[in-house]
Amino acid sequence: MIIKELAKEERPRERLMRFGSESLSNAELMAIIIGTGTKSLSAVDLGHRILAEGGGGLRTLAYMSVSELMGIEGLGEAKACRIVAGLELAKRISSLRNTDRIEISSPETAAAVFMEKMRYLKKEFFNVLLLDSKGNILKEENISVGDLRSSIVHPRESFAQAVKCGAAAVVFVHNHPSGDPTPSEEDLEVTKRLKDAGEILGIDVLDHIIIGDGIYVSLSDKGYI
């Protein structure tokens, strides 16, 4: 059954306007984003397929690329781009909510800023939180993407924005795609180099947090900073 064959009050768009977005299922919300289905599937049915073939529902879908989405039968470039754009807006809204007026007073508060954004990433992202003298967030910056190696995470790039913004302190954060946040020898080596560089620049390195799947490790708590 195509959406036009549904009673008007049962169509996703009409239900959203009448009852609010909270009343819609994930597949119905997806149907509104993609707009149309295929010759054999309604937009809602295609929404179910997208969520199922994403391999993990919304969690996996959130980090799929346009090309990966286009591998799902029924999705062309236009629909895939709409999905990626919508999910990116959701991530940015989440980021604003997490960082607005938050004082970083503990590893827990710093980890909370990044947990939902980084726990499902398929590559290692190395980020930094720039803080003022009171621990308020000035800016969040990505330093590198890829394996965490000394050649990639260089103090020059790691502190460039901190110097530019006049940050008093920084917290470095990166994720382990495996979901296990146990620090590697490379993690510890990079942390030491960044801590030493921060002392030279007069910028406090408060912590280096490793994000796993719902868990994290603070290298400050572990005594490495």
pTM, to two decimals = 0.59
Residue, of 104 and 136, whose pLDDT is higher = 136
Share of the chain above pLDDT 70, in %: 86
Q: Is the pLDDT of residue 151 over 50?
A: no
What is the secondary structure of 157-211 as a DSSP string? HHHHHHHHHT-SEEEEEEE-TTS--PPPHHHHHHHHHHHHHHHHHT-EEEEEEEE
**What does the alpha-carbon distance between residue 174 and residue 219 come to, in Å, rounded to a whole number?**
12
The architecture (CATH level 2) of 3-96 comes to Orthogonal Bundle (1.10)
Which CATH number fits the domain 103-218, given the four candidates 3.40.50.620, 3.40.140.10, 1.50.10.10, 3.30.70.20?
3.40.140.10
Residue 218 — pLDDT band, cuts 50, 70, 90? very high
